[in-house]
Amino acid sequence: MDEPGKTIFVQIPAYRDPELLPTLMDLVDRATHPARLHVSVCWQHDEGENPSSFAEAGFDMTSSVAAGRLHHHLSRRAASLRIFDYAMRESRGCGWARAVAQQGFDGEHYMLQLDSHHRFADGWDVQLIGMLERVRSGRYPRPVLVAHPPAYEPGQPVPDRCEEGYQIDFVGFGGPGVVRTRSSPIASPAGRRAPVRARFFSGGFAFADGSFVRDVPADPDHYFNTEEITLAVRAYTHGYDLFHPHRHALWHHYGRQGMPKVWEDQSRALARGETTLDGAQLGMRAMVAAEAAFGMHGAPEPVDWLGKQRSLEDYERYAGLCFALRAATAEVFARIPPSDADTGLGRSAWEAKLRPAPWFP
């Protein structure tokens, strides 16, 4: 049951994004209970972006300096927002920016992980809490809603509500993200009535208990592409269960053609000798580390970010994947939602179910 006094910690990394301001306004203005929102933003900006734009858009604003870092404190309709101010040249990628934004966490009841380019349905806060608590009322005490939401285009109207759910499907292994996925509408009848179980995580939309921030904090070493698969494994091994919502309460701007990207800016700055940060190198390092942790080049290397509630193999059985063999079950290829059916199988019986998966170099 939703209680308006229960707070939501909203974490957002923003890199030179003109959509940040309309995203924040829509986030607050379309919430049923905006006073419950505690928003934390890692704002990575160029010299042309000025904090006065927040005040000009109708936010009440004060600024302060703590530990040598400029912070902006905003409010709107009783929602509170904290902006961590960083110059674009200081950025170390998406994982780092999410870790910075998570510094604003203060024990809130719920957590919403976003990007900086979204639109929201009226009452999105009540809708997400209702779906999460509906799942919890079953046999899943630590649910997480994850998905790649439907798309919007800046300047274009969005529907009042999206009655369709989307799931994240497996495509193959390889590439900078370790696995390759795509989104598609949920086809199962059950998926039209309630959230369905998910194999993968979405960096741009996740809703869970606030404890998730403490248990599965953002890893600053994941520059961009490896964030989602490592979060899926980390969440599951920490005892969280992943679900796709059966309807969506927000939209995401994909592609963002012509918009600044941190890796492109850093590549140009590196070529000019203006920085020593190499985004491609950081991304490659994260990919190699993830593949090693998953045992894709030999025995899995020990890491401190796996949980102790479940094992890596538990995740593989649940998700229907085998990193070491680069294989998946027939259920995965058929887009059938994951289950616990294979958890009791012996190793040989489990491997007999696997089929080679596509590999993308």
Centroid of chain to Cα 163:
21
**Cα end-to-end span (Å), the chain:** 47
The three state secondary structure string of the chain is CCCCCCCEEEEEEEECCCCHHHHHHHHHHCCCCHHHEEEEEEEEECCCCCCHHHHHCCCEEEEEEECCEEEEEEEECCEEEEEEEEEHHHCCCHHHHHHHHHHHCCCCCEEEEECCCEEECCCHHHHHHHHHHHHHCCCCCCEEEECCCCECCCCCCCCCCECCCEEEEEEEEECCCCEEEEEEECCCHHHHCCCEECCCCCCCEEEEECHHHHHCCCCCCCCCCCHHHHHHHHHHHCCCEEEECCCECEEECCCCCCCCCHHHHHHHHHHCCCCCCCHHHHHHHHHHHHHHHCCCCCCCCCCCCCCCCCCHHHHHHHHCEECCCCEEEHHHHCCCCCCCCCCCCCHHHHHHCEEECCEEC
pTM equals 0.95
Say what the pLDDT of residue 222 is. 86
CB 201 within 8 A of CB 167: no
Say what the pLDDT of residue 352 is. 94
Say what the pLDDT of residue 282 is. 84
Residues contacting 66, CB < 8 A, separation 6+: none
Say what the pLDDT of residue 296 is. 94
Taken in order of first residue, the domains within the chain and their CATH numbers are 8-252 (3.90.550.10), 278-360 (no CATH)
Say what the pLDDT of residue 361 is. 81
- pLDDT profile of the chain (361 residues), mean per 10: 85 97 97 98 94 95 93 97 95 94 98 97 96 93 96 89 90 92 85 88 97 96 89 97 95 88 84 83 89 92 93 96 96 93 88 94 81
